[in-house]
Amino acid sequence: MSRPPEALRMIRPLAVIAVITASAGCAVGPDYKRPAVDVPSAYRGAAGSASSQTTFADMQWWTVLEDPVLQSMIKEALANNYDLRIAANHVLQARDQLGITRANQLPSISGFAGAERELSPPAIPVNSTFYATGVQFSWMLDFWGQFRRATEAARDTLLSTDYAQNVVRLTLISNLAVAYFQLRAFDEELSSSQRILQTNQETLRITTLSVNGGASPITDQLQATLLVEQAQAQITQLEQSIAQTENQISILLGRNPGDIPRGLTLTEQPHFPEVPIGLPSELLERRPDVREAEEALAAANANVGVAKAAFFPQIPLTASYGATSTSLGDLLKSSASMWSVAGQAVQPIFEGGKIRYGYKLAWAQRDAAELSYRETVQQAFADVANALVGYEKSRSFRMKIEEQTATYAETARLANDRYRGGSTSFLEVLTTQQQYFTSELQVAQAWFAELQNYVQLYQVLGGGWQMTAHGAP
């Protein structure tokens, strides 16, 4: 069945008019422009002058975290972690939503076929059956850019969702590394506690012999017993912490709770004493949470244009071509063909304030998104400043604690020698042993704090989420 010439003559001009009108149309509403923010010239607490050279955040995570066991677990977590998989699914949903929104800019074409039976009253004994088939064309002309702005908003939302996934990825790497270092710190504390327990048990044995021989009072034996019980209690608590940290790591890996392998000790973990941090202005591009907030602002900005377009006339175009007949056999004959072409402009006159309030709401949401972006930027600068001072001071603190522990160890040794020589009471031995025990446990936690701040500095600078295959372990 061929289309009648008159139908072509009517539809073609309409199509040309639609294309010309659409191309000449404008997109109402504000175009997006990144807000001006107060960017400091340097991070607070940064040593020396910053430069735009290759920075800590430019390094891939496997060059920052070099423990082979930790690297293996990070790779497993990136493949299996449920939070990251959920975030990836959100990206897919946003991509599909963009496709749905973009489809509104295109014409809609559908086919139809049907039959109708018409029964007249008894006074007019005429019964009729009608058959019809054909295609329908409809297109809402996007003269004011409503659909283009909606597509722009959906595209920005997709980008924001993608950056949100990167935030989850960066956070996952950081959380896993910190949990692993915490586990190794508990391992160090447990090892120290077990060693101290053996020392205290030997002290208790010698003291008991001295008490039984009448050379020492019973209080010395009781005090030595306290040292043993203190170490035993600490071991029990550490075993609990180790098991719970292993469970935490297992969940990050996407596993059921279970044992976690060990790699390098805390003191063997490679890390840079000083790291190049770059310029604060680079943080606007490098931090995925800042980029996420900006894309959310851009989406809200585009939605203002969607709301503004509702004030203007809507221009739908429709056309149909088909055939109708009272006989199914005649339906495909040219004499049964029919066509129609229509266009109109529909201007809102009274909507009870819905359009006006929708426009005001869009602006309010856009302003809120801008405030959120500014706050995120400001918090990013604060995060870096906190991480810088945290890494520097935790490193200095760890060194001092190591010196303190060495002093306590010597003090405890001398006190024990003096006690055995009869020059002092067992109370001095008890006091110095407790001080040494506490300080040695602090060493492990000081190493953990240093490595934790090291990882956090890498995270807040925006490192770890820009994945490349080159050089991966």
Q: Shortest CA distance to 441 belongs to which of 196, 267, 217? A: 196
Q: What is the pLDDT of residue 327?
A: 65
CA–CA gap between residue 177 and residue 174 (Å, rounded) = 5
Q: Using alpha carbons, list the distances in angstroms from residue 72 to 79, 166, 404.
A: 11, 20, 36
pTM of the model: 0.84
Spell out the domains of the chain, with CATH numbers in brackets. Answer: 1-30+107-141+313-346 (2.20.200.10), 31-105+144-312+353-460 (1.20.1600.10)
8 Å CB contact between 278 and 453 = no
Q: What is the pLDDT of residue 415?
A: 87
pLDDT at site 124: 55
- Which contiguous run of DSSP H or E holds residue 394? helix 354-420
Cβ partners under 8 Å of residue 182, min gap 6: 245, 448, 452
Q: Give residue 337's pLDDT.
A: 67
Q: Are strands 127-141 and 108-119 parallel, antiparallel or unpaired?
A: antiparallel
Cβ-based neighbour number of residue 257 at 10 Å: 13
- Say if residues 133 and 331 touch (Cβ distance below 8 Å): yes
- Residue of 87, 88, 104 whose CA lies nearest to 153: 104
Question: Per DSSP, which regions of 312-404 are E strands?
Answer: 315-325, 337-343
3-state secondary structure of 315: strand
Angle at 392 between CA 388 and CA 397, to 5 degrees: 140
pLDDT at 49: 44
Angle at Cα 209 formed by Cα 204 and Cα 214, nearest 5°? 125
- pLDDT of the chain, 473 residues: tens digit per residue: 344 444 444 445 555 555 555 554 578 889 999 999 989 888 887 764 455 467 888 889 999 999 999 999 999 999 999 999 999 999 999 999 999 999 888 888 888 777 777 666 665 555 577 777 878 888 888 888 888 999 999 999 999 999 999 999 999 999 999 999 999 999 999 999 998 899 889 888 888 888 888 877 888 888 889 889 989 999 999 999 999 999 999 999 999 999 999 999 999 999 988 888 888 888 898 999 999 999 999 999 999 999 998 888 888 888 887 777 666 666 566 555 677 777 777 788 877 788 899 999 999 999 999 999 999 999 999 999 999 999 999 999 999 999 999 999 898 888 888 877 778 777 787 888 888 888 888 999 999 999 999 999 999 999 877 765 445 66
CB 276 within 8 A of CB 54: yes
pLDDT recorded at residue 7: 47
| pLDDT at residue 35, rounded to an integer | 93
Q: Which residues of 404-422 are buried (b: 16+ CB within 10 A; e: fewer)?
A: bbeebeebbeebbeebeee
